[in-house]
Structure 1
Amino acid sequence: MTDKELRWVQKAKNGNQQALNKLLKAHYESIYLLAYSYVKNEADALDVVQEAAYKAVNGMSRLQQEEYFSTWLNRIIINEAKRLLVRRQRENARQTSDEDAMTSLVDLAETQEHDSVLMQEIHGLDEKYEEVLLLFYFNDLAIKEIASVLGTNENTVKTRLARGRELLRLRLIAQGYERQGLK
């Protein structure tokens, strides 16, 4: 976190709305990508970002360590994305029978797949590997920050990152993407 962002966080904690707006704008792209990586569509990602921004505005005074603002904000995004996914699953389950719900979920997953082979393969990994890879490579979080966001220790993050990379490498090779860095 830059010194400028740290000053914005301090001002925002003291109720400066303009500083909080600057912070949220500075982090918008990364939190949107994080939300999108969970919910896998633009409308839901925007809903998650909006709800998380609302919670950040209301909870800013409770942020204990200013230097961990981005970690705190990412945790809010992850929690909101998971909350939305659970709510959608419940809605789908209530609206259709068990058999119809499975068909709807499969159809939904097929229509919302990313065009990118890489993103498809990342999303095909076990959630614990997917989370770590997305936070590390797409949100540029350090291992320590990822451990904080996920509520686990750094060694677990390192292990999941190494295993996730290897699984992703194997999946890409199986898709025919044998480049020098993947062998």
Structure 2
Amino acid sequence: MYIKVQQEYEIKKLKYYGNFLANIAFSEEISKEEANKLITLINVLTYRQIKLIALLSGQVIYTNSHITPELLEVMHKFGSDHMGFPKMKFPKKWDLPNRDFSAQGMSGYSTISIYQDLMDLMKLGLVAQYRDDNIEIILDITLINPHSLAMIGLGAQLYNLMKLEQIPENELEEMLDQL
């Protein structure tokens, strides 16, 4: 059973690893050292963590800025074909739950497990939790609030290079339900 589950998720991860390799081969902006760092990161990430990165991808746009829905609509329309620019793509903004486990604690293995994955992504520098436009340092999984999380730095590079927007929405919705 263990090997079957591991292989199934490694196969799903393989598509996005292939996207990464294809994109990095033609990128002039990414140095060999940076590419090596990103490959190392991909190798330690689980498929669930990759889905979490995809789920959090839009949050940085909405969390760290004052983009209103109206402004976002204008930004989506920018770049029409007659202007010679491709349409701008923005990750979907998911309605992440506003959780506070600090008072009552956290229970259930699946809950603890997914929040541990979020903590691991923070330790890797791919995700951060914000409060009042400042990054919070989180030392305990009970202090993680999905509503305040956003992808940062190398997480954004992985999202783009791995083309994580291709992860099926139903998989991200399942992940959202677990948070």
TM-score by length of 1: 0.30
The structure with more strand, counted as a fraction of residues: 2
TM-score by length of 2: 0.30
Larger gyration radius, structure 1 or structure 2: 1
Q: Using CA pairs below 8 Å that are at least 6 residues apart, which structure has the higher relative contact order?
A: 2
